[in-house]
Structure formats: structure tokens, C-alpha cells
Amino acid sequence: MTKDFWQEEIETMPRKQLEQLQVERLKKTVEIAMNSPFYGPMFKERGITPESIKSVEDIRRFPFTTKQDLRDNYPFGLASVPLEKVVRLHSSSGTTGKPTVILHTKKDIEQWADAMARSMYCIGLRSTDVIQNTSGYGMFTGGLGIQYAAERLGALTVPAGAGNSLRHLKFIQDFGTTALHCIPSYATRLATVLNENGVDPRETKIHTLIIGAEPHSEAQRKRIEEIWGAKAYNNFGMSEMCGPGVAIECKEQNGMHIWEDNYIVEIVDPQTLEPVKEGELGELVLTTLNREAMPLFRYRTRDLTRILPGDCPCGRTHKRLARFQGRSDDMMIVKGVNIYPIQIEKVIMEYPELTSDYLITLDTIGDNDEMTLEVELVQLVDDYAYLQNLNKELSRRIKDEILITPRIKFVPKGSIPQSEGKAVRVKDNRQNH
């Protein structure tokens, strides 16, 4: 077990001390946010002042902040510092609607780079690595966020950007890339391009993939590791919290350590907004502790996860988040049953004859919800009996998982439309949806 750290003192800080640090930073953050036109009046009304914060539990006195608040106050209504101190803005990818804007001071950018560099170090990346980034270098935080962090780590960084897989392939070969940052759906797509061009991804120098930005199952991770012959680590970030660098798996690959010197973590019941029992699934709610341009208090991420109990053998004391179930907005209610795409993905991944791309379409037929699942065959087959068998087995397995039998459609590899950014898994054509 490697026991080396980027910032040992912080990463292995005893819990009591870590909480003390959180209290100090929360006070400081309140002081900064009193200047925000959004939080200032709200704090006054509730009597929230730096001096009134005594423990981490005081976080419950704060109201929640939602994405809608960010939209309503677009673009600068949540700024806590004058705009002359702001050096950059980013926006979320807009996966679930109108984008929102996040502001950064110079210090915010530095702290963000540091948190992500810590995350990279945690999965074994070093200054000797060549890190190739497949995220877009624009408003999406996966571009510049990874860039600054990899530079801080001292690694040779290849800012290849999104798309153009052939160019990625060339860079991987020419520059001897050792680590890739990509969304999981692109990790498999890029591997296919390598294979189609006679390059076995396992033969490249890539030993590590940082995968994140979208939900994926453990089975998909295993598949990615298998095709690349490399380790793939789950990485969580969101623009509102800075971007990548919020939480990452350590080498144990058992939950993502969320850097609690930077965030207060709560898991709440999305309906009642009360904390769930320890270890139970709920919505992740985060408070920033180390940001100044636009601190956010009790931000409802809409991501569903839980905190893994117990200590991590790696020695880090920061809590671990379980793999995300998805966002509360990803949940489909089909025939009265709550379903997440990830449940279906898990089953698809059990079949090596299927690729990891899929599309769920929901329609109203008569008065009923109807689910169609398109899956891609790795290889074209014209054996009808075989396909019929596979169809039956797959729908039975999915029914076991979600209690609903989908109509299954096999399509050739590469025929499910691929989105520019994060994968789109569900098309809901139902009336009233």
C-alpha cells in the first residue's frame, strides 16, 4: 500500500481537527458571502454571522441553494466579491437545462488546481506522467480544470481537447501519453477508434484513466480497464463547486474521497430535505469552504449517492462517496416504477457481445408507457435464433432489475447517435413529459 500524499497533513487529518478546520473556513466563507446581494440579506434575516458559527452542525441553519437560484440570479447575482477581483467564469455543461455561470478569483483558480492536483497524486500520477485531456477547453470545467491541475502536478500536459479521435490516437503514440482524462462514454469510443486503426489500446503507454463527469456503473469501469489494460478512477466534479477536483477514488477504488477541507458534505432526503440515516442513499448537498468569488451554501447537487461507512485503508480521513446512482432528474417513472438508466446499464455490461452505448426511448402507446431499449451488437450476426435468445435473456435480466420488460432492439455498433458532450441515455416521447 502506497502511503504518500500530495498534502499529507490535510489528507490524513484526524476527524476532529478536520471539523475544526471546517468551522474556521465556514466562518470565513460567511464573512465573504455577506457581500453577496443574494446571501447578504438572507444572512441578516436569519442572524447568520461568522461569530454565530460554533460547529459544523450550524450548517443546518442555512437555507438550501438550488440551480434555480443560480438561474434566477444569472449571471453575477451571487458574486461575493467585486467583479474586478474575478478573473474567470465557467458555466456548467447545461445537461439539464439553461446553463449557469460560476465565477472565480485568482485564489479560487489556484485552490481548484491544487485540489485536482491532489486528486491526481492520489491515484498515482506524478510529474513524470504525460496527461492527455480529451475534454473541451471552453466553458466546460473539464478542460482548463484538468489543465491547471496537471501543470501544478508538474506533469507534461497534452491539451488535445474534445473530439477528433484520430488526432488523440496520434498524440497518444507520438507523445507517449501515460494518462487520459475522459468521460467514460468516450473512453470506450476512443478505444474502438484505436482498434479500428490497428492499435491495441493495451499496447499504448497509458496506465491510468481519470473518468468522471457522468454516471457509470462499476461494470463499465471494469470494461474500460479491460480494454485499455489500465486503471480507471472515478472522479467527481461539478462547475458549481469549481469543476473536477471535488472527490476522487483512491487506489482502493472503493468510494470517492470528498475533500472535506473544501466542502461540508450532507446527504439529505430529496423530498423532506432532512438528513438521511448514516450510510443511506440521498441527495448530495455541498457547501464550499474555500471559494471566494461565488461561495455556495447547502447547494443541492441533485446527485444521488451515499456515504460509505468505515475508514479507508489508504489513510485518508476524508469521507467517501459511493458511485453515483444518477441525478434526481435522471429518474424515469415508468408504469409507476422509479428507474435510473444506470440500473439498465449494469445489465447491458454483463454482455460482452454488446457495446456500452445504449438508448432508452419512452413512448405512450394507448394509455401505457412503453420502453424501448436500443443496444449495439459488437459484431453483426445474422443468426436469428441466437438473436432471439439473446433478446429473451436480456429482457428477462432487465425485468429482474427494474420490474419492467423493455422492447429490445439490436442495432449495429456505432449507430446510436453520440452526443458532443455527456452521453444522452434517455429519450422521453411520452405525453405529459
Residue 314's binding partner out of Zn ion, ligand ADP, none, with CB under 5 to 8 Å set by partner kind: Zn ion
Please state the closest distance from residue 316 (CB atom) to Zn ion, in A: 5
Residue 316's binding partner out of ligand ADP, Zn ion, none, with CB under 5 to 8 Å set by partner kind: Zn ion
Residue 340's binding partner out of ligand ADP, Zn ion, none, with CB under 5 to 8 Å set by partner kind: none
Binding site for Zn ion (CB under 5 A): 250, 252, 312, 314, 316
Please state the closest distance from residue 387 (CB atom) to ligand ADP, in A: 32
Torsional class of 264: left (φ above 0), alpha (ψ -120 to 50), beta (otherwise): beta
Which residues face 354 on adjacent strands? 377
Please state the closest distance from residue 383 (CB atom) to ligand ADP, in A: 37
Residue 287's binding partner out of ligand ADP, Zn ion, none, with CB under 5 to 8 Å set by partner kind: none
Contacts 24+ apart (CB under 8 A), 217-222: 217/323, 217/342, 217/345, 217/346, 217/349, 218/323, 218/346, 219/345, 219/346, 219/349, 219/350, 220/184, 220/188, 220/345, 220/349, 220/356, 221/184, 222/349
Q: How far apart are CA 147 and CA 112, in angstroms?
A: 11
Which is closer to ligand ADP, CB of 23 or CB of 238? 238
Please state the closest distance from residue 164 (CB atom) to ligand ADP, in A: 21
Q: How far apart are CA 80 and CA 71, in angstroms?
A: 16
Which is closer to ligand ADP, CB of 80 or CB of 100? 100
Please state the closest distance from residue 191 (CB atom) to ligand ADP, in A: 19
Please state the closest distance from residue 113 (CB atom) to ligand ADP, in A: 17
Residue 301's binding partner out of ligand ADP, Zn ion, none, with CB under 5 to 8 Å set by partner kind: ligand ADP
Please state the closest distance from residue 113 (CB atom) to Zn ion, in A: 22
Distances (CA, A) of 347 to 8, 217, 344: 40, 10, 5
Q: How far apart are CA 168 and CA 134, in angstroms?
A: 8
Residue 124's binding partner out of Zn ion, ligand ADP, none, with CB under 5 to 8 Å set by partner kind: none
Binding site for ligand ADP (CB under 6 A): 92-96, 212-215, 234-239, 301, 303, 324, 327, 422
Residue 214's binding partner out of Zn ion, ligand ADP, none, with CB under 5 to 8 Å set by partner kind: ligand ADP
Residue the block writes with cell 405512450: 364
Torsional class of 326: left (φ above 0), alpha (ψ -120 to 50), beta (otherwise): left
Judge contact between 193 and 166, C-beta under 8 A: yes
Which is closer to ligand ADP, CB of 146 or CB of 213? 213
Which is closer to Zn ion, CB of 200 or CB of 252? 252
Which is closer to Zn ion, CB of 168 or CB of 221? 221
Q: How far apart are CA 93 and CA 24, in angstroms?
A: 32
Which is closer to ligand ADP, CB of 105 or CB of 239? 239
Which residues face 130 on adjacent strands? 156
DSSP letters for 56-73: GGGGGGSPPB-HHHHHHT
Which is closer to ligand ADP, CB of 201 or CB of 326? 326
Which is closer to ligand ADP, CB of 102 or CB of 206? 102
- Chain-centroid distance of CA 147 in Å reads 17
Please state the closest distance from residue 57 (CB atom) to ligand ADP, in A: 25
Residue 250's binding partner out of ligand ADP, Zn ion, none, with CB under 5 to 8 Å set by partner kind: Zn ion
